[in-house]
Amino acid sequence: MYGWGSSTICNILEKREYLGHTINFKTRKHFKDKKSHYVPEDEWTIFENTHEPIIDQQTFDLVQKIRGNVRRYPDGWGEAAPLTGLLYCADCGGKMYVHRTNNGKRISQYTCSQYTKVPCGTLCKTQHRINEDVVLSLVSEMLKAIAEYAKHDRAEFVRVVQEAQSSQQTTEVRKQRTRLATAKQRVSELEVLLCKIYEDNILGKLSDSRYATLDAQYEKEQSELTAEISVLEKAVKSYEKHEKDADRFIALIDKYENFDKLTIAMLNEFIEKILVHERDRKGSIQTTQEVEIYFNFVGRFVPPAFGEVELTPEELEEIRKREERKDRLHQNYLKRKASGAQKRYEDKIKKRKKAEIEAKKAAIRAEDIAKGVFVPVSSLPQREPMKGVQTA
């Protein structure tokens, strides 16, 4: 039986050799101490598909994503928060970090990481606070709706998902493709021009100085275009690589039957990112908060009629009255906050709660003393301090 440490397990999870690749030249001997030292990853030599893999690329990428999202300080049992690395502030784009409150019960909340940076409120004006269970419930309900939509009308579901995926081809991608074609055409033209000025120089139609100037100019332009083409080809190839992502998302939906309990692996398989907006009313218990969910492979996808409810005129009137009451209460809160009355009220409540907690502690301590479970230090028998023994 082996007792592997955490560092050994981390090294196993990072090994690309399990993908079927051979990786050489990870280390190099240093000229000073003649010992082998690890070199940067971009200096490795990777030979792909040299042996049978034991893990597929998609699972490997998922593991790296989960490991990359974990913060330094998970909870006491080493289990990271399920939404770690997935929530982002919709206003500043900063990551949202989990905070746990213990006000009678353990509650996990996420707040914008940029808000607390000194000076507080400079990088992001508000915290965008949201409870973890609210987000998990929303994701669960949306995945259930997508799965139900897939079962109800499979053909329509496939069509809508494919349209959602194709919409990811933004204007920027189309511009890149156009620019790539233009750059390649210009490189071909420059090659012809270089040959032409060379022939003109040989035939005496172009002076040596003029030839040198044009040759350097064309060579520089050609070199810059070649570098740009390399970057554009990688960008276009990366997009084309994901053209079948719609099929992957459909297969992922079919993979699971129950979305009541969402695990960390499931969340990272489905979710690319979640954008959290600020609440429409600060300091109000009854408030509305917009949340945008972006799925892997297809981006932001909302199933038809999700969250839509047919309301009667009476229900609409009730909602209108409720919103008016919310606005009225919120305006009163803002007035109390501006005058300082809200701060005095909160300090009073905090002081009262602290007194109640101290009273409960004192009652429990008195009960323990009465039962003999606890003995105060002041009640322990006093002993005379021992005098030092003198030696010859």
User: 340-377 pLDDT, tens per residue?
Assistant: 998 899 899 989 999 999 999 889 888 888 888 777 77
Closest CA to 366 of 353, 375, 379: 375
pLDDT at residue number 103: 62
Distance CA 180, CA 173 (A): 10
Q: Which of left, alpha, beta for 158 (phi over 0: left; psi -120 to 50: alpha)?
A: alpha
SS3 at position 299: strand
The average pLDDT across 277-303 equals 81
User: Phi/psi at 136 (nearest 5 deg)?
Assistant: -60, -40
Q: What percent of the chain has pLDDT over 90?
A: 22
To the nearest 10°, report the CA torsion of 50, 52, 55, 57.
40
User: 194-220 pLDDT, tens per residue?
Assistant: 999 999 999 998 899 999 999 999 999
Distance CA 341, CA 349 (A): 12
Query: Does residue 302 have a pLDDT over 80?
Result: yes
The average pLDDT across 173-202 equals 90
pLDDT at residue number 328: 85
Angle at 145 between CA 141 and CA 150, to 5 degrees: 150
Distance CA 6, CA 22 (A): 24
Query: Does residue 165 have a pLDDT over 70?
Result: no
Cβ neighbourhood burial of 284 (10 Å; 0-12, 13-18, 19+): middle
Query: Does residue 21 have a pLDDT over 60?
Result: yes
Q: What percent of the chain has pLDDT over 70?
A: 88
Distance CA 88, CA 133 (A): 16
Higher per-residue pLDDT: 43 or 190: 190
Query: Does residue 252 have a pLDDT over 70?
Result: yes
Confidence grade of residue 240 (pLDDT, cut at 50, 70, 90): low
Task: Say if CB 115 and CB 100 are below 8 A apart.
Answer: no
Neighbours of 26 (CB within 10 A): 14
User: 45-84 pLDDT, tens per residue?
Assistant: 888 888 998 888 888 888 888 777 765 555 544 567 888 8
The average pLDDT across 151-159 equals 83
pLDDT at residue number 243: 60
User: 100-132 pLDDT, tens per residue?
Assistant: 766 656 788 899 988 888 777 778 888 898 999
The HSE-up count of residue 293 (CA atoms within 13 Å, CB side) is 21
Neighbours of 98 (CB within 10 A): 19
Per DSSP, helices labelled H in the chain are 6-14, 57-69, 132-152, 154-166, 171-202, 208-241, 245-255, 264-270, 313-339, 341-371
Sheet holding 96-102, edge to edge: 96-102, 106-112, 130-131
Query: Does residue 382 have a pLDDT over 90?
Result: no
pLDDT at residue number 58: 80
SS3 at position 23: strand
